[in-house]
Amino acid sequence: MADPYHNNIYHQGDGDSYRTYGQGGQDSYGYQTDYPPQEEDAASDATEGHDEEDQMYEGEYQGIPHPDEVKAARRAARAKARTVADGVSDQEELAEQYEDIMEDCGHGKFQWTLFVVLGLALMADSVECFVVALVLPSAEKDMCLSHAEKGMLGLIVFLGMMFGAFIWGGLADKVGRRKCLIIVLAMNCISAFFSSFAQGYGFFLFFRLFSGIGIGGSVPIVYSYFSEFLQMDKRGEHLSWLCMFWMMGGIYASSIAWGIIPRYGWGFSMGTEFQFHSWRVFVLVCALPAIAAFVGLLFMPESPRFLLENAKHDEAWMILKQVHDTNWRAKGEPERVFTVTQIKTPKTQEDEFIEIQTATGTAFQRWVVRTLTLTKLVMKNVLSLFGHDLRLATLLMAIIWFTMAFSFYGLSVWFPDMIKHLQHEEYESKLKVFHREKVEQFHFNFSLENQVHKEGEYINDKFINIEMKSVKFEDSLFVDCFFENIRSTETIFENCTIRSTVFYDTDLYEEKFIDCTFENVTFLHNKKGCHLDYEEENDVLVYLVSFLGCLAVLPGNIISALFMDKIGRIKIIGGSMLISAGCTFFLFLSFSQAAIIAWQCLFCGVSVAAWNGIQVITVELYPASKRATAFGVLNAICKLAAILGSSIFASFVGITKVIPILLSFSALVGGGVLALKLPETRKKVLL
């Protein structure tokens, strides 16, 4: 029995040769193998002492076909399909050959190592989506943010990620998956470091935008990169397992936020101008997944499929051999030989960068020419997505991405905002109103909270070392009073008369006095900046909601990964979106905080299967030369939908539930129905 891995010819089940790699041709690229040709009856040094005819495949007794027989059958089926077709393009021939090579390389140690590294990059993207929402309750106090500034800070990250997905997705198809991913992770790490030390709102906003532009490119690159190291029968399942890292990123962010931000003592200060509170420590720690992925990528190779598309055959061959040898050595079969000696070359391949590699002109001129050329190539690639062959697929995918993101991110904002609204209603129901009280020569040494004082008179009173939270003095009179070391939140004086009164070391600024009359009033040593009360301002419910929402997607992730290759991408996407639409009607029953958390967990757990299917089918619908570009464009549309959804849904909190529920239901039903019109790709080789 001859060892099929020591021959340069692949065999079909009927004995005919499937493809010969040892012969050259005008549209092929040949290689000199590292291994000398062997005679039919010669034995390899690595297998010396083994009689192949005496070896028995252990599954033979159970009627289980040998893996080599399964591969041969799949190749025979694909060869038969090609003979039925009118003709096979160079792109399809390369795709078939690449699939055969990946089958011979197997799935093992190399893919699992890359899986972890790219998973950490995906975690970094997830953390970036959560970090601003988790630090905002503290950052708004530390930097004295207005409601408009808080809203802009929440949207700026998604805005940056939208541009980042578009830019880096396009560049990854021209510059390389690995190179672009290293750059975006470096941008995220640098931005996280500087934003944690930024004391002003403007600098913090800029660095979060820069971070979003960087990490926004990770999702399109990660899925395109990993898919090109997977064989067809492993692709759907393992891309779905990769999606679990997004869930792990959310759990990581909410867990460390819960553990770090409430620890006020974990910060330090340098005078009054530089404050480094614990929420800034949290921002730094959030960069750890990106740092780990960055280091891991330094030891990973470029995608060989990208290299083949760009006529870098020698590099691609070496990487494929590395994958093959790494996997089979780890499986205890180092004698397996990488037999590929020739790889198909696409006839349409052109050296597009030849004009910018010359040493003419200054360095700046060469950089300008290179940048302009690269921009033209990227934009040409983007426009090709709307060509005759891909127009319908791109339009359907754009609508599906938009409707899914609009509903998911809109409800992701609506859930916590509704919880805050219910908390506020409960808080207001406990409001204490004091009418026409008269207090003379009294020392207020206790905090005032959730109170309204109307038409009161305060004569010769002292307010010392106290906190005022949600306190309003209306139409009141203060005479000969003394305020010292006052810390206030949502406290105002409206239409009050204040005479012969001293405010010493307080944060009662001018904007807190509305239409008030001052007579002989002194303000001394006002507090600078805003001051945090971590026990009051950082409700653990903020972290708990994020944690449970991320954890709830675990069952959906597992189910979608196990069934992605069994029932297909289309049924997963359509079924998940339609079931998620039905779940939105449970939101009419959200009368308590516990109910809202429960419906959030249900919605997230069901909808995650659709997300996994959408990401898998996106990499499978487009050829290698356009894969990352298409993913980047669609992911940019996703982020645009996230911005619109979160803004629109948040505006109806406390007003009505009907509109957000109907909007999410309509979007999910429309997207789910359109998803059923997509072509199934689970048995399709990557073009």
| 3-state secondary structure string across 220-250 | HHHHHHHHCCCCHHHHHHHHHHHHHHHHHHH
Q: CA 411 to CA 665: how far, in whole Å?
A: 11
138 close to 532: Cβ distance less than 8 angstroms: yes
The pLDDT tens digits of the residues spanning 56-69 come to 444 444 555 555 55
Q: CA 644 to CA 11: how far, in whole Å?
A: 55
Could you tell me the two tokens for 337? Answer: 């030989």
- The alpha-helical segments, DSSP class H, found in 347-441 are 363-384, 391-428
Bridge partners (DSSP) listed for residue 449: 469
Helix (H, G, I), strand (E, B) or coil at 496: coil
432 close to 451: Cβ distance less than 8 angstroms: yes
Q: What percent of the chain has pLDDT over 90?
A: 31
The pLDDT tens digits of the residues spanning 207-263 come to 989 998 988 889 999 999 999 999 888 888 899 999 899 889 989 988 888 888 876
580 close to 610: Cβ distance less than 8 angstroms: yes
Q: CA 681 to CA 670: how far, in whole Å?
A: 21
* HEC secondary structure over 159-191: HHHHHHHHHHHHHHCCCCHHHHHHHHHHHHHHH
The pLDDT tens digits of the residues spanning 247-289 come to 899 899 888 888 888 765 565 565 555 667 778 888 899 999 9
Helix (H, G, I), strand (E, B) or coil at 463: strand
pLDDT of 26: 43
The pLDDT tens digits of the residues spanning 299-322 come to 999 999 998 888 888 888 899 999
Quick one: which of 222, 75, 234, 168 has its CA closest to 378?
168
Q: Which range has highest mean pLDDT (141-155, 524-538, 556-570)? A: 556-570
The DSSP symbol for 285 reads H
The DSSP symbol for 680 reads P
DSSP per-residue letters across 521-558: -EEESPPPS----HHHH--HHHHHHHHHHHHTTHHHHH
Q: How many CB atoms lie within 10 A of CB 93?
A: 17
Q: CA 229 to CA 222: how far, in whole Å?
A: 11
Q: How many CB atoms lie within 10 A of CB 624?
A: 24
C-alpha radius of gyration, the chain, whole number: 32
Could you tell me the two tokens for 562? Answer: 């196990």
600 close to 545: Cβ distance less than 8 angstroms: yes
| C-alpha count within 13 angstroms, C-beta hemisphere, residue 519 | 9
Q: CA 173 to CA 171: how far, in whole Å?
A: 5
570 close to 675: Cβ distance less than 8 angstroms: yes
pLDDT over 90 at 166, yes or no: yes
Quick one: which of 334, 331, 329 has its CA closest to 50?
334
Give me the phi and psi of 602, to 5 degrees please.
-65, -45
Give me the phi and psi of 461, to 5 degrees please.
-105, 160
- Residues belonging to the chain: 687
Q: CA 110 to CA 402: how far, in whole Å?
A: 35
Quick one: which of 329, 370, 326 has its CA closest to 352?
370
Q: CA 257 to CA 131: how far, in whole Å?
A: 9
- Element at 128 (helix H, strand E): helix 109-142
Bridge partners (DSSP) listed for residue 275: 269
For residue 383, CA distances in Å to 377, 380, 628, 633 come to: 10, 5, 14, 11
Bridge partners (DSSP) listed for residue 2: none
171 close to 381: Cβ distance less than 8 angstroms: no
pLDDT of 269: 60
pLDDT of 36: 42
The DSSP symbol for 44 reads -
The pLDDT tens digits of the residues spanning 501-517 come to 999 988 888 888 999 99
- Element at 450 (helix H, strand E): strand 448-454
The pLDDT tens digits of the residues spanning 619-647 come to 999 998 899 999 999 999 999 999 999 88
Q: CA 400 to CA 397: how far, in whole Å?
A: 5
pLDDT over 70 at 55, yes or no: no
The pLDDT tens digits of the residues spanning 556-583 come to 888 888 888 888 889 999 999 999 988 8
Could you tell me the two tokens for 283? Answer: 């921002």
Quick one: which of 670, 547, 672 has its CA closest to 604?
547
| C-alpha count within 13 angstroms, C-beta hemisphere, residue 583 | 22
Question: What angle do helix axes 658-675 and 627-651 make, rounded to 10 degrees?
Answer: 160
The pLDDT tens digits of the residues spanning 66-98 come to 555 556 556 555 555 555 455 566 677 777 888
Count the helix, strand and coil residues of the chain and give each as a percent rounded to the nearest 5.
60, 10, 30
pLDDT over 60 at 33, yes or no: no
pLDDT over 80 at 524, yes or no: yes
Helix (H, G, I), strand (E, B) or coil at 435: strand
